[in-house]
Structure 1
């Protein structure tokens, strides 16, 4: 990735990966860079109007939604900005009900689900759902405990919210949210605490990538099998710490881009989950 950074938003649309905003050695950035795996080429897009970090993205159709984030002073924002991948342009959606950064975000059945995060004073339990058809946010059943820097992904008909940080330690927490009933259940905990991880679904399993390094040591990534409610070990290209990379799935490949490991990273790693299961560097731009 041309701009080395962490705490960025990452999304995959139309065969390309979009790296948006985040924190660099020079501070908070608004930069948008697009990666085409077929050509192994990075190009520049239109900057995000509001520079933020501690932010996530989710795609609905050809639009990439980027809610909230923290500004250069570390203050959470309410702004929701939407990137149109077809026109390389930005627009605003309805603001978040409250300022938020360091949340977990995923898209499910054409809606955004935003879990927890930092409100400027504490890590919260709040769950918000955004419907782009009506441009509205609604509050849903909260999490049991407040946490930020968790990650969320769908598996089957439910949404998993994994890991995170509660202000004291990185968490092994795994919880499952049922959108139909607005209820929560626990799932088997991660093997190690992970805050600032990525979570993606591929081949009917969840992959927890990165996180760790603040209060726990990162020695491996993890894969979750819902059939027997177990986590198993997956290799990692970095050990010790790898906080807040961007992680997405494109076809049968997991891409992990950027993050923090003693410094801001530009790395672009691809994990061939099906069928080879091996991490390989896919872009040599540093």
Structure 2
């Protein structure tokens, strides 16, 4: 439609949509109607966003098999646009199987496998030096954090904000995020704080700037990405660290947390942007810290965390600002300092610590909650521990960022991404700056800031 009527802006939007959602679009019947020239244009584009290069290969096969007689002669040129060196050995086995079926399906033989093997095995194609580079519309932003150091005096909490400028896919399993510095928070550095995005603006509240009893904070700031400007807002009523800050409706809710090293809170506060004020809501039915929270259908769900004895919990409950706590089905594993995100009408819970007699140990088991059926299901465990990590959902994939390992107290300086379609965790490379007790969110950044 855009092409027929010469609507350049609509064409740009449509092409960008195809590039960002290529795997899903390639599974639709309409995809098979694409002209070969247009398909080739998409395949050659570095901005093609796919979980692996195998998805590109499968798309070409689907397109060819829709009309083998007419399209087999075009298959070789299309296959040259597939970046076979980006595949793993396991993925490449499928290329051989498909090639054989093509050779046996008709009178025309298409020797795809030899050329693909040449590129895959010897890397002589110019696509080896190139990467699939995707620029998400919303930027994944990291805020603050701490770094582990055996000498407490040499620890250096962070004031920095970083954003993911692009997602890059390379040879084999190599995937990485290109991180860029966004700026610094005003006031003191902080970790174990809360972050939230409301009406396109970033809110940063509470946290710690170090480890003494007097180092817990209640200051709140708002960042406007359009003007690249920070504003000091009204303070929280209570000092809070290791709490959750969630956006629901027209406000932000600061839930639980620690007010000092050994005392956690049952209080909840709501922030109103219109009046720049915090007001207390119905308290939790027990003091909590290190819990995780997510919003679905306008309602706030809270999982796990530490109770007043600092034991890890298995609880899952619905919190209402006026009615308080309604308990739901419990998780199968206890955890605190973990992540929980809403994705495709499910809650994905990952990371954190769990109880081990008088001590804590890393929780690698991951669980998925169905809010309609009130049931839990275990899914693929994390490849490494992520305690005190940040999390976000970007383009229908779950990101777990940073944290540390409880067993040896080492930093988890990697980002891992979970794809519900493949049910697989992928390493997305190393992170910048301090990585423990950081926070993450999605924020739309104007082009002048990205550049």
Pairwise same-fold verdict (TM > 0.5) = yes
Q: Equivalent residue for 2:315?
A: 126
- Structure number having the greater helix percentage: 2
- SS of the residue corresponding to residue 71 of structure 1 reads strand
Among residues 214, 225, 230, which one is paired with 1:37 in the alignment?
A: 225
Q: Equivalent residue for 1:233?
A: 427
Q: Does 1:198 align with 2:394?
A: no
Q: Equivalent residue for 1:14?
A: 199
Among residues 197, 202, 218, which one is paired with 2:412 in the alignment?
A: 218
8 Å CA contact 1:213–1:242 kept in 2: the answer is: no
Q: Does 1:175 align with 2:367?
A: yes
Distance 2:405 2:193 in 1: 18
- Structure number having the greater strand percentage: 1
Q: Equivalent residue for 1:259?
A: none
Normalised by the length of structure 2, the TM-score is 0.54
Among residues 342, 346, 355, which one is paired with 1:158 in the alignment?
A: 346
Q: Does 1:243 align with 2:436?
A: yes
Distance 1:90 1:8 in 2: 17
**CA-atom RMSD in angstroms:** 2.0
Per-residue displacement from partner, 1:32-76 (whole Å, max 9, x unpaired)?
A: 011122222222110000011111111012210111111124211
- Structure 1 180/19 Cα, relative in aligned 2: closer, same or farther at 3 Å? same
Per-residue displacement from partner, 1:196-248 (whole Å, max 9, x unpaired)?
A: 11221121111111211543542310111000110111133337x62111211
Normalised by the length of structure 1, the TM-score is 0.83
Unpaired segments of 5 or more residues in structure 2? 1-184
8 Å CA contact 1:221–1:236 kept in 2: the answer is: yes
8 Å CA contact 1:93–1:135 kept in 2: the answer is: no
Q: Does 1:82 align with 2:270?
A: yes
8 Å CA contact 1:158–1:177 kept in 2: the answer is: yes
Structure whose CA Rg is larger: 2
Distance 1:85 1:149 in 2: 28
4+ aligned runs moved over 6 Å, structure 1 = none
Per-residue displacement from partner, 1:176-196 (whole Å, max 9, x unpaired)?
A: 000111110011111210011
8 Å CA contact 2:360–2:406 kept in 1: the answer is: no
8 Å CA contact 2:391–2:439 kept in 1: the answer is: no
8 Å CA contact 1:106–1:113 kept in 2: the answer is: yes
- SS of the residue corresponding to residue 194 of structure 1 reads coil
- Structure 1 198/152 Cα, relative in aligned 2: closer, same or farther at 3 Å? same
Unpaired segments of 5 or more residues in structure 1? 254-271, 273-280
Q: Does 1:27 align with 2:215?
A: yes
8 Å CA contact 1:170–1:212 kept in 2: the answer is: no
Q: For residues 100-119 of structure 1, what are the structure 2 equivalents within 5 Å?
A: 100-119=288-307
- SS of the residue corresponding to residue 57 of structure 1 reads strand
Among residues 39, 49, 52, which one is paired with 2:240 in the alignment?
A: 52
Distance 2:232 2:422 in 1: 43
Aligned length in residues: 253
Distance 1:235 1:105 in 2: 26
Where relative contact order (Cα < 8 A, 6+ residues apart) is larger, the structure is 1
